[in-house]
Structure 1
């Protein structure tokens, strides 16, 4: 299992903002939803395209893939509409010492 990787200081990722961290070869999308941080694999399950290019809807807690419009729940990775049907991998997040951390725990 991978060690925790530092994403950023908590003050660097404001509510509604997103960033990408790398755990080895795995890009991890990290989003701040009103002080709660969520991490998903930065790859649409419909096609190999980065979710981080899409728009976050903080109110709905979703991100939309810009390639074909698939939407995913940021809290658990569920696919919410076609063309995606499979979820994206969700990763743990912790806040410690004023920083946001995540890891690929698969």
Structure 2
């Protein structure tokens, strides 16, 4: 499969997660304060909560329900109660298009 348009770069607000779904795969897309775009799995591995409803702090996305923060770069939880990582997807930017292949995750 190849990368698909997830959203427009202009649709992203800095440090505000946007939930997208590509081929049934829910993701949280984040434009961080350094201007980098990240895409991670949208479901918290601790409590099946949508991470896109959480809070961006630095290079982490924190689950609003129980406070686990996941690295936007690796998907690894930075604190308990979550201990399983979420997938991190490769993001390409083409003009205003944010492109993501939901079948390709980054190796950590």
Shorter-chain TM band: 0.7 to 0.9
Tell me how far apart the structure 2 counterparts of residues 65 and 17 of structure 1 sit (CA, whole Å). Answer: 13
The residue number in structure 2 matching 1:91 is 89
SS of the aligned residue for 2:28 comes to strand
The residue number in structure 2 matching 1:20 is 19
The residue number in structure 2 matching 1:7 is 6
RMSD: 1.4
After TM superposition, the runs of 4+ consecutive aligned structure 1 residues lying more than 6 A away are none
Aligned length: 103
Tell me how far apart the structure 1 counterparts of residues 4 and 49 of structure 2 sit (CA, whole Å). Answer: 23
SS of the aligned residue for 2:10 comes to helix
Contact 1:92–1:105 under 8 Å retained in 2: no
Alignment of 1:40-51 (within 5 A): 40-51=40-51
For each residue in 1:38-87, what CA deviation from the matched residue of structure 2 results, as whole angstroms up to 9, or x when unmatched? 11010001121111111111xx2111111211111111111100000111
